[in-house]
Amino acid sequence: MTHFPPDPEKSLNAVAVIGEVHPAFGTPNLLWTVGEVAQYLRLKPGTVRKMAKTGELPGIKLKRSWRFQKADIEEFLSAKRPVTSGPGLPRAAKAGER
């Protein structure tokens, strides 16, 4: 029996992957929706769409829906991590400071 709308417990914990369903955040070939990326990055879905549209966030558009690969999102986050400041690292000098 098909449930409509989909069972919320299952839809929050699984995503579509080329015809299969896998646990969210657990498979490298996983395609995330805007909502799942927003939840993972703690952003609003509209912000995720805007970032994807401008090319700031790597994603693919399938008809009217955006999809994102886990590896691409993790690479995006790695590139955004500061390397000159943070816990255990010296503070970066501001312009004019020595």
Q: Is 30 exposed, middle or buried (0-12, 13-18, 19+ CB in 10 A)?
A: buried
The whole-angstrom separation of Cα 71 and Cα 88 is 27
Q: Where residue 80 falls among pLDDT bands split at 50, 70, 90?
A: confident
User: How many angstroms from the chain centroid is the CA of residue 43?
Assistant: 9
What's the CA gap between 11 and 14, in Å, rounded?
5
| Domains delineated in the chain | 8-77 (1.10.1660)
* Residue 88 pLDDT level (bands cut at 50, 70, 90): low
Give the contacts of 22 (CB within 8 A, at least 6 positions apart).
Answer: 14, 15, 30
Amino acid 85: pLDDT: 56
